Copies of this chain bind each other. A is one copy, B any other.
């Protein structure tokens, strides 16, 4: 496989890379600021990769390294997206696509583990097994069986994702990607014009475009309904027919615009990180905090929606006991209420982001 990113330096890992922009904020060019941020994230990426390679059999270290790897990969891809016009797009578009592939492959194992932990926690909570006189830690037969079934299904999916991630990290496709990130760590391929544009003029303008996409996406959300507590919207398809293969379940259709808003908030946050690094003292910390809060609410929305879907899917396992199915039904509804709760929380945070 040829390196798809054109001429690149060796894939060696630089020991340290300057992260902060040395040029005074007022006169810094857009290219300087963007390069500064990307250098930092690329260095993080390469450091996490080294930690992952060194972790060996230590599963916890490997998982933490993979998390850090995804973290910087998401940021690089996001920032290359927002500030695309400032970059050599032929080169960066390709890298961006590969980073999206990588975060997808690496994220799955973590997602299954987190989903199982969430569902296990909910089963315990719903059994009153948290500090109740009925006896801590005791699950009913139905809850225990539902837990075992989910454990089996999600652990299997997790193991498969783990293998897929390891395979991906050993692939030539990944090595080419790491080479490209190493290029980014030393010199970001920029559009020639970016070297002349003032950061304080060019960057906010591009952030503004992302902000507008985000605002448009949030405006399509039913925030009026979501703002009324206990609106019971998230469960309206709780017992809807399992759809045919060519149409997504009704709940997925209902959730999709919220997931889209989640992705755009993340993009907006990364865009802000570049600005904040540039503006330093001038940054608006409350905006970042609110964006983070809004994003966390929608993360919870996504996690609960996927956990609810996993419970519903487990309930379709053939030959399960009625008590198991009943527990999975309660669990599904519980997680859909978490979905509703997350929408409500998002709506309240968004009021403060938008003003």
Contact = CB atoms under 8 A, between A and B. Distances in A.
B237 A128 contact: yes
A199 B265 CA distance: 66
Contact of A320 (B315, B322, B330, B344): B322
Contact of A250 (B134, B236, B332): B134
Contacts of A332: 326, 329-330, 333
A142 interface: yes
A133 B236 CA distance: 13
Chain A interface mostly: helix
A221 interface: no
A321 interface: yes
Nearest to A251: B128
Assembly stoichiometry (copies): 2
Interface residues of A, number: 48
Contact of A139 (B123, B235, B239, B321): B239
A94 interface: no
Nearest to A135: B241
Q: Which 10 A-B pairs have the closest CB atoms?
A: A329-B329, A333-B333, A230-B341, A229-B229, A322-B325, A326-B329, A325-B325, A325-B326, A329-B330, A128-B240
Given A320-B322, A330-B330, A333-B334, 8 more contacts: A128-B240, A134-B243, A140-B241, A232-B341, A315-B326, A323-B325, A325-B326, A337-B337
